[in-house]
């Protein structure tokens, strides 16, 4: 084996290792995105589905973060309702074509309410048919790659249009795209959490308004569809349960009172203009309230008062 052939083999091996590392890195970043955007009840999402949903999430975050607190809450409430409506439709286990068409129809309805226009929705992929098993697998793999490329291209377009990246470039590698998107989601959510208490309350009221509007839209959509209207009562109960988990925040209450200190202070005369309460071991009158003994009564009884026995001790009731 000559030196040229050995060099070529070494380069190929190095490229194989680099490609494997890139794929591993990409899959790890996709797993991070799954945790950031996955809703309750969503399991086993494919990579292209995660990328597609991530694009919806970052667009929604961009819409909310650039609006005032009330409008941001309204958009968020609409978005939450849209997610729950789509999940309910998927839980009905209708045929895949009907489910996908209904979910797209709901999303278009909510897009009109949020953006004033219908968003771009990729057409449903036709079923791959054929007799040659090898050819079918090849076509399916090509469709999978096309969907993956479409998801990455959508995220790349979002980065460029909104100047999300710190360093502006015309083209980013796919791992760079995911890094930028992960940082954007984390930083935007953190900025929204750091609002003032008043802004949080206004935002929460906007969320409730958006949820109510979303529920109104969803019920209308269910009533005009022959398949969904049969599940209207069940859907109404499902949506009420999901949306009731989010409540408007209550104004912060004052710090709890130290009850032990308060009880001790109550026993001092003049505190809050209240009568002094008896301390443990102090003599009491027949009526239950403590009175100071007069010198004559002490002399007649022939006993010495506790105060006289220990003059060095300061007693607050003397």
- The DSSP code sequence of 8-74 is HHHHHHHHHHHHHHHHHHHHHHHHHHHHHHPPTT--S--HHHHHHHHHHHHHHHHHHHTS-HHHHHH
| Residues in contact with 252: Cβ distance below 8 Å, sequence separation at least 6, in sequence order | 197
* Residue 127, Ramachandran bin (φ over 0: left; ψ between -120 and 50: alpha; else beta): beta
What is the C-alpha to C-alpha distance for residues 25 and 301, in angstroms, rounded to an integer?
A: 94
Q: What pLDDT does 41 receive? A: 60
Q: Is 5 helix (H, G, I), strand (E, B) or coil?
A: helix
Name the token pair of 277: 């309460």
Answer with the residue of higher pLDDT: 108 or 316.
108
198 pLDDT band, cuts 50/70/90, is confident
Q: What pLDDT does 255 receive? A: 45
Backbone phi and psi for residue 317, each to the nearest 5 degrees, phi listed first: -85, -5
Average pLDDT over residues 174-198: 90
Backbone phi and psi for residue 293, each to the nearest 5 degrees, phi listed first: -75, 140
Name the token pair of 179: 């890094």
Decide if pLDDT at 51 tops 60: yes
Q: What is the CA radius of gyration of the chain?
A: 35
Decide if pLDDT at 280 tops 50: no
Answer with the residue of higher pLDDT: 38 or 151.
151
250 pLDDT band, cuts 50/70/90, is very low
Q: What pLDDT does 260 receive? A: 55
Decide if pLDDT at 37 tops 90: no
- Poorest-confidence range of 67-71, 92-96, 273-277? 273-277
Average pLDDT over residues 290-303: 45
19 pLDDT band, cuts 50/70/90, is confident
What is the C-alpha to C-alpha distance for residues 108 and 117, in angstroms, rounded to an integer?
A: 8
Q: What pLDDT does 195 receive? A: 81
Share of the chain above pLDDT 90, in %: 33
228 pLDDT band, cuts 50/70/90, is very high
């Amino acid at each position: 084996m000559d030196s040229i052939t050995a060099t070529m083999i070494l380069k190929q091996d190095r490229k194989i290792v680099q490609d494997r590392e890139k794929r591993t890195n990409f899959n790890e970043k996709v797993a991070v995105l799954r945790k950031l955007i996955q809703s309750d009840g969503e399991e086993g999402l494919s990579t292209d589905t995660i990328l597609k949903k991530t694009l919806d999430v970052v667009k929604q975050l961009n819409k909310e973060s650039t609006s005032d607190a009330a409008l941001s809450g309204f958009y968020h409430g609409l978005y939450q309702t849209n997610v729950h409506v789509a999940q309910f439709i998927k839980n009905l286990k209708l045929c895949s074509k009907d489910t996908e068409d209904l979910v797209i129809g709901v999303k278009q309805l909510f897009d009109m309410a949020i953006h004033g226009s219908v968003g771009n929705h990729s057409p449903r992929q036709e079923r791959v048919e054929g007799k040659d098993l090898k050819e079918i697998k090849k076509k399916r793999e090509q469709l999978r790659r096309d969907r993956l490329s479409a998801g990455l291209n959508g995220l790349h377009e979002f980065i460029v249009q909104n100047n999300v990246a710190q360093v502006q470039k015309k083209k980013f590698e796919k791992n760079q795209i995911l890094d930028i998107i992960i940082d954007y989601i984390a930083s935007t959510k953190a900025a929204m959490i750091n609002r003032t208490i008043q802004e949080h309350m206004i935002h929460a009221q906007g969320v409730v308004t958006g949820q109510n509007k979303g529920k109104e839209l969803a019920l209308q959509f269910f009533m005009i569809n022959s398949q969904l209207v049969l599940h209207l009562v069940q859907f109404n109960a499902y949506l009420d349960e999901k949306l009731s988990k989010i409540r408007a925040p209550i104004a912060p209450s004052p710090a709890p009172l130290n009850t032990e200190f308060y009880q001790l202070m109550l026993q001092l005369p003049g505190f809050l203009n209240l009568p002094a309460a008896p301390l443990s071991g102090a003599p009491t009158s027949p009526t239950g309230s403590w009175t100071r003994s007069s010198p004559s009564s002490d002399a007649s009884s022939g006993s010495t008062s506790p105060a006289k026995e220990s003059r060095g001790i300061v007693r607050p009731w003397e």
